Chains A and B, each alone.
Chain A
Amino acid sequence: MTKEDVYKRFETAKARKHEALRRMKERLEDDSFCDFLRQQSNSLSYEEA
């Protein structure tokens, strides 16, 4: 395994991470989804869990 190989793999890993984060950000910009999460969280208390 050469340094170049590892560097390429690491850069690929970071690029995949950034792409996943971009998709997450895009989805969470939708306020209705966050409202849905809020409603869901109200249906279960810590004690119940």
Chain B
Amino acid sequence: MKKLDLNKINGSAPYKIVYVEQDSSYNFITDSGIVYSVMFIDDDLVQSGESYQFIIYNKNNRKSPRDKKLRDTIATIIHEFFQQNNVALLYICETGDGKQAFRSRLFQAWFAAWDSEWYVCKSTSFIDNDGIENYVSIIIRDDNPVRSQIIAEFQEALDKLGEKP
């Protein structure tokens, strides 16, 4: 993965981003005092092309209702990620606290508000062997040369995961 241009991000992100070399994370604090950390890690769920996983952590575990600056900051980071890397990006909603459906809806609402004609986003869900509903989204650039293969593989993988044992 190519490194993101922090100056470029901070040139347009509403919240100031601090990069931490130690774990390659992008960190910021919102007006309501909530600390967020964002990271991109290697992923191989989809193998038709290079892919990464998007991770976001809310330290305070509080909601940020209608915080457009938060949405725009995340959009700026992801946009810069795709400027540097024409790859696939997966978002697997955390299921530990049962709020995965909310996370998925929020992510899709954010995506819908972005400059999304440059990207394709596909979201789906499946119930795993433990009866837990999992929500997964994938975003790729519209001009990704293996876009169709990645989307097809993603859909096939999620269909298989949803098959009854």
Contacts and interface: CB of A to CB of B under 8 A. Distances in A.
A47 to B, nearest CB: 10
Nearest to A42: B16
Name the prevailing secondary structure of the A interface residues.
helix
Contacts of B59: 25, 28, 34
A23 B23 contact: yes
B29 A34 contact: yes
Contacts, number: 95
Contacts of B157: 1, 6, 9-10
Contact of B92 (A17, A36, A44): A17
Nearest to B27: A37
A38 B27 CA distance: 11
B146 interface: no
B69 interface: yes
Interface residues of A, number: 30
A25 B94 CA distance: 14
Contacts of B25: 24, 27
Contacts of B28: 37, 41
Interface residues of B, number: 39
A13 B90 contact: yes
Nearest to B129: A7
Contacts of A40: 16, 18, 29
Interface string A17-49: 100110111011000011011101101101001
Given A28-B57, A49-B10, A49-B15, 14 more contacts: A1-B153, A1-B160, A6-B161, A9-B44, A16-B53, A17-B41, A20-B23, A20-B41, A24-B25, A25-B57, A37-B18, A38-B33, A49-B12, A49-B16
